[in-house]
Amino acid sequence: MMIPRSKLFISGNCVDQLQDALKANPDALCIDLEDGVVEAEKIRSRESVAHFLRKTRLGCQVWVRVNGLGSPHVVSDILALLGAHVDVVSLPKTEAASDVIFVEKLLSHIENLEGIGRQIKIVPTIESPKGLRHAYQIGKSSSRVISLQLGAGDLSSATGIDRSGPGLDFIRASISLAAAEAGLGVLDSTAHGLTDALVFEQDALRAKSFGFCGKSCMLPQHVIVANKVFIKTTLDSASAF
């Protein structure tokens, strides 16, 4: 499986915008059931996303960011993917290998019910000091894991490290080294508040210099930049980092 150069977020309560989002030509669309959906809309959004993805195969990788393991929604989020055209579960706030193993068991359950032999992949997001400390073990926890992903916003909030300063270099280097040791690729965090394409490009180039192979995007114009900055990387070649 190719590790996406660009992964465009779209909120789970905006299913009607998914086809339009493809016009930006992202390598992956990540439908967000977590931070992008307020509590009162989570159940409705999950049902709407699952219904849409059972009927529709989008023309790029399809990721679903489920709620974290501390949420009462995570089990229902994953079970709702039964029969849906989903390639990757994006697991936020991952802090231990056991988090991934728990999700893997739920995915195995729905895949066994389907009986079609597919395997949904997992990309854990590292968003806390504990998660960063366990990044290698998280990466090695399951053959479903194709990449680690940095969540710089929450990690910055948890540590006080300025995500726009040199502290981010240390974080990027740490997660990149853990991913490389685990034989995985690594994706960079989305850049909140960056509407200037040139500033986004500089941020993407900085991530690339630390071995990152792709970046999350909040805006369609970010996709164009990320696709230009990063090169296409398959899972097999990622193990050679």
Question: For residue range 220-240, what is the model confidence (pLDDT) as tens digits?
Answer: 999 999 999 998 887 654 433
Letter for the amino acid at 172?
R
| Residues 138 and 99 sit within 8 Å (Cβ to Cβ) | yes
pLDDT of 236 reads 58
Give the DSSP letter string of 53-71: HHH---SSEEEEEPPPTTS
Question: Sign of the CA dihedral 151, 128, 179, 212?
Answer: positive
What are the φ and ψ backbone dihedral angles of 83, each rounded to 5 degrees?
80, 0
Average pLDDT in the chain: 92
For the segment 75-86, the average pLDDT, to the nearest whole number, is 97
Residues of the domain holding 6: 2-238
**How many domains is the chain partitioned into structurally?**
1
How confident is the model over 91-108, as pLDDT tens digits? 999 999 999 999 999 999
What pTM value is reported for the model? 0.94
Q: Which has the higher per-residue pLDDT, 152 or 194?
A: 152
73 to each of 24, 70, 153, 175, how far by Cα in Å?
30, 9, 22, 27
Report whether 60 contacts 87 (CB < 8 A): no
How many helices and strands (H and E) does the chain possess?
A: 11, 10
Confidence tier at 81 by pLDDT (50, 70, 90): very high
The CATH number that applies at residue 33 is: 3.20.20.60
Q: CA-to-CA distance for 129 and 239, rounded, in angstroms?
A: 25
Strands (E), the chain: 2-3, 6-11, 28-32, 61-65, 88-91, 121-126, 147-150, 185-188, 214-217, 233-234
pLDDT tens digits for range 11-46 = 999 998 898 899 999 999 999 999 999 999 999 999
Rounded to whole angstroms, how far apart are CA atoms 46 and 51?
9
